């Protein structure tokens, strides 16, 4: 009888121990899993940025085998406190690398993002944040629309007579509004005539004796490369004289000081077009970039154009064209410097000494176009 009692007690003890072992194992299963390797996530690169989308390349640096989910948080709030969105990766590449393409973004907007992973315990681990800016939509602001010479009303809407500073400049011609006329067909003519007696000297350096009446116009709109308008196009069709003593020009010059200056078209008594850029600290300390181009049938109609754009916070580049062919690229320190746009028929000076010019000369202009852009195409 005692033997039966001992056996019964032994069986009860065995069953009780077995039950405790099983319960311990089940408790371990439902508790936190030990993840020995730390998980680290990083940003590889950002690419494919458009007006409304961007592709982000990321990777798990370590602990990839313990990652259950990976993706990014993103939004326009740098602190990720408001309007934060979540994007989860659906495809991984190799050892933890993945990419995400974000769409339906707002153009011209800075987005902040940071990668995340979720481990087997459901804990989120974040990487460093970064940002990108979607492309700004290209918008043109047309200041002169190629039809400014179609009527007198249009001419006066976009242009003023003479130079911005008055009637005199660096040649032997004095400017008068009567020497500017419209010919119809959106064409403007500037005429220069020798006067029978002098009117004294020019009021501008080098103070030449006045021998001609001529004409000049300047655009009412100033030109200035800024962060808001970093790209400009200036263009026009011209028929110019090329005889000694004639000095037609299509140019921009500093509105507040000289230099700066850019000559898009300048002829000085022959068939060579001079395209110049003048930079410097003041008029006594200048540097010149000069590109002379021989133009076939220079007295016929030709198009002269400049594309003018920002290259840094202080520097610009200007691409100079004749008939659609780029003849030069000049670089200068012209950011945030306002310019006047001028069309004029000066005489003698750089094109010939006093008395060397013709009795008369004329130039014709049409299709002058001036526009800025809010971004660089």
CB 317 within 8 Å of CB 346 = no
> For residue range 80-102, what is the model confidence (pLDDT) as tens digits?
988 889 998 877 766 788 999 99
Q: What's the rounded Cα separation, in Å, for the pair 275 and 298?
A: 14
Q: Which of 65, 199, 266, 327 is catalytic?
A: 266
User: CA-to-CA distance for 111 and 235, rounded, in angstroms?
Assistant: 38
Structural tokens at position 70: 């990976």
Structure tokens at 125: 């681990």
Supply 8's token pair: 């019964």
**What is the pLDDT, as a whole number, of residue 2?**
44
172 or 12, higher pLDDT: 172
**Which one of the listed residues 26, 104, 261, 348 is annotated catalytic?**
261
**Which domains, and CATH codes, for the chain?**
40-133 (2.60.40.10), 140-373 (2.60.120.200)
- What angle is formed at CA 262 by the lines to CA 278 and CA 273, rounded to 5 degrees? 105
pTM for this structure? Answer: 0.74
From 9-13, 106-110, 204-208, 219-223, the region with the lowest mean pLDDT: 9-13
Does the pLDDT of residue 34 top 80, yes or no?
no
Q: Could you report the per-residue pLDDT of 124-133, keeping only the tens digit for each?
A: 999 999 999 9
pLDDT of res. 24:
31
Return the SS3 of 208. Answer: coil
Burial class of residue 232 in the structure, from the number of CB atoms within 10 Å of its CB (0-12 exposed, 13-18 middle, 19+ buried) = buried
Whole-angstrom Cα distance, residue 367 to residue 114? 51
Distance CA 210, CA 224 (A): 33
Going by C-alpha positions, the residue among 232, 209, 203, 220 that lies closest to residue 164 is 220
As a dihedral over the C-alpha atoms of residue 231, residue 237, residue 239, residue 244, rounded to 10 degrees, the angle is 10
Q: What was the pLDDT predicted at 94?
A: 67
Phi, psi at residue 28, to the nearest 5°? -65, -40
- pLDDT tens digit sequence for 324-336: 999 999 999 999 9
d(CA 347, CA 195): 12
Active-site annotation holds for 327: no
Q: Catalytic: 199?
A: no
Cα separation, 227 vs 136, in Å, equals: 12
CA distance 219 to 215: 14
Residues 6 or more apart in contact with residue 260 via CB below 8 angstroms? 253, 254, 277, 278, 279, 332, 334, 337, 339
DSSP assignment of 269-338:
SSSEEEEEEEEEEETTEEEEEEEEEE-TTTTS-EEEEEEEEESSSS-EEEEEEETTEEEEEEEES-TT--
DSSP alpha helix (H) spans, the chain: 2-30, 152-158
**3-class DSSP state for residue 242?**
coil
H/E element, 61: strand 54-62
Q: What is the pLDDT of residues 36-80, one digit of tens each?
A: 457 888 899 998 999 999 999 998 888 778 888 889 999 999 999
Residue 119 has a pLDDT of 87
Could you report the per-residue pLDDT of 131-164, keeping only the tens digit for each?
Answer: 999 998 889 999 999 999 999 999 999 999 999 9
Residue 354: partners with Cβ closer than 8 Å, 6 or more residues away: 172, 208, 209, 211, 348
- Asked if 144 contacts 186 with a C-beta cutoff of 8 angstroms, the reply is no
- What b/e string do you get for 257-267 counting C-beta neighbours within 10 Å, with b at 16 or more? eebbbbbbbbb
Residue 220 backbone phi and psi in degrees, to 5: -70, -30
The two tokens of residue 166 are 């008055």
């Amino acid at each position: 009888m005692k033997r039966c009692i001992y056996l019964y007690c032994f069986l009860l003890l065995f069953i009780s121990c077995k039950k405790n072992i099983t319960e311990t194992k089940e408790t371990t299963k439902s508790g936190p899993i030990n993840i020995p390797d730390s998980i680290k996530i990083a940003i590889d690169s950002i690419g494919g940025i458009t007006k409304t989308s961007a592709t982000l390349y990321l990777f798990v640096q370590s602990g990839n085998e313990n990652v259950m989910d990976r993706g990014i948080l993103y939004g326009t709030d740098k602190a990720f406190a408001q309007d934060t969105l979540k994007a989860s990766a659906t495809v991984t590449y190799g050892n933890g690398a993945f990419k995400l393409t974000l769409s339906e973004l707002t153009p011209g907007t800075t987005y902040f993002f940071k990668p995340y992973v979720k481990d087997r315990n459901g804990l989120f681990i974040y990487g460093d944040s970064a940002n990108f800016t979607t492309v700004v939509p290209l918008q043109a602001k047309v200041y002169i629309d190629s039809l400014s010479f179609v009527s007198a009303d249009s001419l006066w809407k976009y242009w003023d007579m003479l130079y911005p500073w008055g009637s005199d400049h660096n040649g032997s011609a004095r400017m008068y509004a009567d020497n500017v006329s419209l010919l119809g067909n959106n064409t403007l003519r500037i005429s220069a005539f020798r006067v029978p007696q002098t009117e004294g000297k020019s009021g501008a350096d080098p103070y030449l004796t006045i021998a001609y009446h001529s004409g000049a116009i300047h655009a009412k709109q100033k030109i200035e490369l800024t962060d808001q308008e970093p790209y400009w196009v200036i263009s026009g069709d011209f028929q110019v004289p090329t005889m000694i003593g004639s000095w037609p020009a299509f140019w921009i010059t500093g509105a507040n000081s000289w230099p700066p200056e850019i000559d898009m078209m300048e002829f000085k008594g022959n068939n060579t077009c001079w395209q110049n850029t003048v930079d410097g600290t003041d008029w006594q300390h200048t540097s010149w970039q000069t590109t002379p181009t021989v133009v076939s049938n220079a007295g016929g109609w030709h198009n002269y154009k400049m594309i003018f754009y920002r290259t840094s916070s202080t520097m610009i580049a200007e691409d100079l064209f004749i008939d659609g062919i780029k003849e030069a690229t000049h670089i200068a320190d012209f950011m945030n410097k306002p310019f006047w746009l001028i069309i004029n028929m000066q005489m003698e000076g750089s094109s010939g000494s006093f008395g060397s010019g013709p009795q008369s000369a004329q130039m014709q202009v049409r299709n002058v176009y001036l526009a800025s852009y809010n971004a660089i195409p």
